Structure 1
Amino acid sequence: MAAAASIAATASFVQRSGQQLFLDGAPFYVNGWNSYWLMVQSIEDSTRPRMFAVMMAAAALGLTVCRTWAFNDATYQALQISPGNYDENVFQALDQVIAVAQQNGVRLLLSLVNNWEDYGGKAQYVAWARRAGQDVSSADDFFTNPTCHQYYKDHVTAVLTRVNTFTQVQYCNDPTIFAWELMNEPECQADPSGDTLQV
């Protein structure tokens, strides 16, 4: 077990007041890192030790927040195989990432979709919409097409309402989850003004 106290022992959410983050009334400072691969590495017995090792090392270094993916759409080891259809084994791998983070006193920033084609991303949502008969062609149609919007909203709902099979805590009620990132590195090349991203 890592030196950091388990989050389960405190069971408090990090909160914001003005521009400062607080945990149980004391300032909370993010000292974090990005390990986007935690879920996919946790699926197989042969690669799972890497997830355990990075969590323990991070805790020993005093790191407080890890940014990682809560998506993988229609690719190898996909979480979401098709709209609303999930691989339970992959979801359980994400469950375990959260449980191990909790045990090591690490909080997670979970990203919900990729801007890029890696791990499916917005292009996969557009491909699913096209198969459903939508008139879409560009990956940037993700930002304007109602079917893509619904698929994304459904994914967000599926993740936030997921009950962790290790902790029995619904994701939206788990203080281990520090924050949600709506999209990894969002970009809409069809609208360089950025207005489309703000809708």
Structure 2
Amino acid sequence: MLRWLNPPSLASPPSLRDTHITRCNSTLYLSSTPWKAVGPNIYWLGLDENVIPPTTSPPTPFYAPLNASYPTRGRITEIMAISAALGSTFIRSHTLGISYGNPLSLFPRSATLNPAAFDPIDWAIFQAREYGLRLMIPLVDNFDYYHGGKYTWLRWSGYNLSRTTSEREDPQVQEFYNVNGKVWPEFQKYIKTWLTHVNPYTNLTYAQDPTIFAIETGNELCGPIWGDMDVPADWVREFGRYVKSLAPEKLFVDGTYGVNQTHLNIEEVDIFSNHYYPISVAKLRKDLDLVARVDKPYFAGEYSWLGNTAATDANLTAWLRELESSPTVVGDAFWSLFGHNIPDCNAFVEHNDGLAMQYGNPDHVAQIQLVRQHFLKMSQGLSIPANEALPSVPCPAPTFRTLSGRPLKYSWSS
């Protein structure tokens, strides 16, 4: 029997996994201890676009026009083990919450549920819980991606929007944010379906499960013009009220692409955020100054782990140290993490944006070491050498069943 001789310490003890993350002013807490959300973006956990599944009988679900398939349980479990080895406390994942408009989605069509799509989401949430990791989950995307976004809801509501880049400058896109319009009531139905779903692996609804510590309005939201931050405050407020009415213990994150000053006094928002391509200490400091006015936490939701244009480790080091030095920063998540193409443990999954961090790839070791050093500093106050050897992660990785911190059973996912 394979054994994991030196498993990384789990991010939170089993005794605390039923404890919700809370906020007091600009600090997050796990029980009475300050807590930081550090980890990767792993956008593909609920629905993938990077792997064409092998031919099987019966056939594995696959939607060729958008290259969509469900990730294997083995891939999901391994990436949780990798995240724990990195010193992560949480994961941000788009497709755990954004899943509509694709035949493999939760809602392939308006108000039409595809129960099969819940299984990879349920499994990912369960495995995050077993590995002591928390989840931040956006519920809509600004873009017309394979897993769905605001354009999906606009089309379902009768707006004529083609799948082209020009639609980003169409004034009709603002109707997505109209709380008195056609889209919002339909989107609410999806939010309720998602939050009230009972995960068969945990016997908890998504609203009840402390593993999901935060709900984010969406990914990089803006208005008709890219980067305009034109996300109406009344929509953010109404969204927050609705989520908290169904899941009062969840933290609520403003997913606008940038810190919109008109949102700063929205009571329902617990955390403000921005993304950084390329990483910019000056831009981060401006965002922190804005959020400091209202004494709320700040989270760097995405950034390039390859650094600035020159892609130097010095840039990445300076960026990580800036995050560590600010009392307002409650966490950060690099873009983005991948593992092996399990059941094939010899091949890494590739992604086409040039920012796929592959744990175990010798080309990425130096940057991964820097990120791990940062995560441990942020989450545990540990100071380790930047070149400390990375923990090994077995492939396939173990599925934990825990009670009082003791593994009750090892199984091997495929």
Q: Which TM class, normalised by the smaller chain length?
A: 0.7 to 0.9
Asked if 1 retains the 8 angstrom alpha-carbon contact of 2:46 and 2:71, the reply is no
Q: Which residue is 2:100 aligned to?
A: 73
Question: Is the CA contact 1:162–1:171 (under 8 Å) kept in the aligned structure 2?
Answer: yes
The equivalent residue for 2:133 is 106
Name the structure 2 match of 1:56: 81
Q: 1:7, 1:104 within 8 Å by CA — same for their partners in 2?
A: no
* Structure 2 CA distance for partners of 1:6 and 1:193, relative to 1, 3 Å: closer
Other-structure match for 2:29: 22
State the distance in 2 between where 1:195 and 1:186 align: 8
> Secondary structure of 1:179's match?
strand
Work out the CA distance in 2 between the residues paired with 1:7 and 1:147. Answer: 45
Q: Residues 18 and 81 from structure 1, CA distance in 2 versus in 1: closer, same or farther, beyond 3 angstroms?
A: same
Aligned AA (1:27): P
TM normalised by structure 1 equals 0.87
Matched pairs, number = 194
After superposition, give the CA deviation of every residue in 1:155-195 in whole Å (9 maximum; x if it has no partner): 11111111111111011111100100111111112698645
Distance 1:197 1:76, change over 3 A: same
Report the equivalent of 1:4.
10
Q: Could you tell me which residue of structure 2 aligns to residue 140 of structure 1?
A: 174
Deviations 1:5-31 (A, max 9, x none): 666532100100111001110010111
| Greater Rg over alpha carbons, structure | 2
Provide the TM-score with structure 2 as the length reference. 0.43
SS in 2 for 1:108: strand
Q: Which has the higher helix share?
A: 1
Question: Contact (CA 8 Å) 2:47, 2:70: kept in 1 or not?
Answer: no
Assess if the C-alpha contact under 8 Å between 2:153 and 2:183 holds in 1. Answer: yes
Alignment of 1:37-186 (within 5 A): 37-41=44-48, 47-69=72-94, 70-118=97-145, 119-130=147-158, 138-144=172-178, 146-186=181-221
Q: Residues of 2 paired with 1:83 and 1:46: CA distance? A: 24
Structure 2: distance between partners of 1:88 and 1:29: 34
Write the letter of the residue equivalent to 1:30: A
Counterpart Cα distance in 2 of 1:194 and 1:6: 35
Distance 1:87 1:8 in 2: 32
Counterparts of 2:71 and 2:191 in 1: how far apart (Å)?
Answer: 29
